[in-house]
Amino acid sequence: MHIVHKCFETAVILLFVAIVLVGLGQVGNRFFFNISLSWSEEFQRYGHIWLVFLAIPIGYRRGAHIGVDILMNMLPDRYGRWLVLLIDAMWMLLGGLIIWGIQPLLRLGRNQISSGLDISMNYVYFGLVIGSTYLVICAAERIIRETILKPVEAQ
């Protein structure tokens, strides 16, 4: 799984760099040559969608999302572990619901072409599927590590 995590992190970095470079290119072209890149705004917008949905699981896996620790600190360890398991299951459910909910949009996107990039909108929407699938994988990995592997290590 380490390789998969590194691939997603690298993809997020490369996508962010591409968005910044395209934005700089657009500003430079307008300022110096008074020419607008017709596709740059769409690339940045759709790249941002991909960036968000690929970065959500990375933040979740690293524990970087906002959490309410006060409840966790008030609970005994036994109940705190159940709360963590419930939270992880909710993340997994969220990923699954996004995958399930995006299906009608994917069917609709087959027939839509973006005006600036001239690509099928399925390529844009598929970022939600990839990011949500990775979220489900990260949540499953965390649940397995906390419920199966940790109790074995404690013995």
- What pLDDT, on the 0 to 100 scale, is given for residue 84? 86
- What pLDDT, on the 0 to 100 scale, is given for residue 21? 97
- Measure Cα distances from 38 to 34, 109, 115 in Å: 13, 21, 9
- What pLDDT, on the 0 to 100 scale, is given for residue 15? 97
Q: Where are the domains positioned within the chain?
A: 2-154
- What pLDDT, on the 0 to 100 scale, is given for residue 51? 97
Q: Which helix (H) or strand (E) holds 83?
A: helix 77-109
- What pLDDT, on the 0 to 100 scale, is given for residue 26? 95
SS3 of residue 30 by DSSP: helix
- What pLDDT, on the 0 to 100 scale, is given for residue 75? 83
SS3 of residue 120 by DSSP: strand
pLDDT digits (tens, 9 = 90+) for 19-40: 999 999 999 999 999 998 889 9
Among 91, 145, 125, residue whose Cα is nearest residue 153: 145
- What pLDDT, on the 0 to 100 scale, is given for residue 71? 77
Q: How many CB atoms lie within 10 A of CB 139?
A: 23
Beta bridge partners of 120: 113
pLDDT < 70 regions, the chain: 68, 151-155
Residue type, 19: I
